């Protein structure tokens, strides 16, 4: 029997992180994760924060950098909602895997939304900077503690305004919920296995608060988000820099 003690993080390699994962399995897993995201309500919870930011900007436009975007399902929903609400969301999405970048563009085309998708290693290459807000959803639990510190620092530098992080929270209740939901909402064996590993590797809210203190030198706002997640917000304002352009 696997060790399911959650007293400490048990960070293990997930199948989605395997560069040799067959393309068809990766695509099926991306679709399964998108379905889980849709049912969790995470997109709407983060969107409310973005809309408030947009309403305070001069031209009601936000330039947003999303790190480790996967299929891009969450930020693409934000862009669609922004169009309906009458404000403009300019998206730049980053992901390490070419399969994910291609899926982002496929989804963007189907949704009639323009996004800039870039294949980028956010842990070993500097992030583009000059954005109004930087976001990251369901990536921190893949990282060693020092990598999470490094990424928080990099995202703060990339954004002239807030940084918003959404991730899983490690608990026995959340372990049971994600195990059940992954099987109800996806046919992907990759998703079934990785869902349990993700909770085992996730941070608790106090652990993530400690990481933020180490990375930034001050505590940040963290709110529990049912089911299974938390949202951390870093308020950070510096002088504006030009929005980057990519060929």
pLDDT digits (tens, 9 = 90+) for 70-97: 999 999 999 999 999 999 999 999 999 9
pLDDT of residue 57: 84
Residue 56 in any domain: the answer is yes
Contacts of 247 (CB under 8 A, 6+ apart): none
For the chain, state the CA radius of gyration: 17
> Which parts of the chain register pLDDT below 70?
1-4, 236-247
Residue 110 in any domain: the answer is yes
User: Can you give the residue range of the structural domain that contains 82?
Assistant: 42-169+204-234
What are the strands, taking DSSP E only, across the chain? 61-67, 88-95, 115-119, 133-137, 163-168, 221-225, 229-234
pLDDT of residue 1: 37
pLDDT of residue 119: 97
pLDDT of residue 4: 64
Q: How many residues does the chain have?
A: 247
Helix axes 98-111, 73-85, angle to 10 degrees: 20
Q: Are 156 and 135 in contact (CB under 8 A)?
A: no
pLDDT of residue 3: 55
**Could you tell me the pTM of the whole model?**
0.90
Residue 74 in any domain: the answer is yes
Residue 220 in any domain: the answer is yes
pLDDT of residue 98: 95
Contacts of 19 (CB under 8 A, 6+ apart): 97
List the CATH number of the domain containing 93. Answer: 3.40.50.150
CA distance 229 to 234: 17
pLDDT of residue 236: 61
Contacts of 103 (CB under 8 A, 6+ apart): 27, 30, 70, 71, 72
């Amino acid at each position: 029997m696997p060790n399911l003690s959650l007293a400490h993080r048990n960070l293990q390699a997930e199948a989605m992180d395997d560069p040799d994962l067959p393309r068809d399995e990766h695509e099926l897993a991306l679709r399964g994760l998108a379905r889980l995201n849709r049912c969790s309500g995470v997109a709407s919870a983060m969107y409310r924060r973005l809309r408030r930011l947009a309403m305070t900007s001069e031209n009601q436009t936000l330039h947003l950098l999303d790190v480790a975007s996967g299929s891009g399902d969450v930020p693409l929903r934000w862009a669609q909602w922004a169009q309906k609400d009458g404000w403009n969301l300019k998206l730049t999405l980053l992901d390490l895997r070419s399969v994910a970048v291609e899926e982002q563009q496929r989804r963007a085309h189907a949704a009639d939304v323009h996004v800039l998708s870039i294949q980028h290693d956010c842990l070993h290459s500097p992030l583009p900077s000059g954005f109004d807000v930087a976001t990251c959803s369901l990536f921190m639990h893949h990282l060693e503690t020092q990598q999470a510190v490094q990424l928080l620092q990099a995202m703060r530098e990339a954004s002239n305004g807030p940084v918003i992080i959404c991730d899983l929270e490690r608990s026995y209740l959340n372990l049971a919920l994600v195990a059940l939901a992954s099987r109800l909402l996806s046919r992907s064996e990759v998703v079934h296995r990785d869902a349990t590993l993700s909770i085992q590797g996730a941070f608790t809210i106090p652990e993530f608060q400690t990481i933020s203190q180490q990375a930034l030198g001050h505590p940040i706002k963290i709110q529990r988000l049912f089911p299974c997640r938390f949202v951390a917000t870093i308020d950070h304002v510096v002088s504006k820099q030009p929005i980057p352009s990519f060929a």
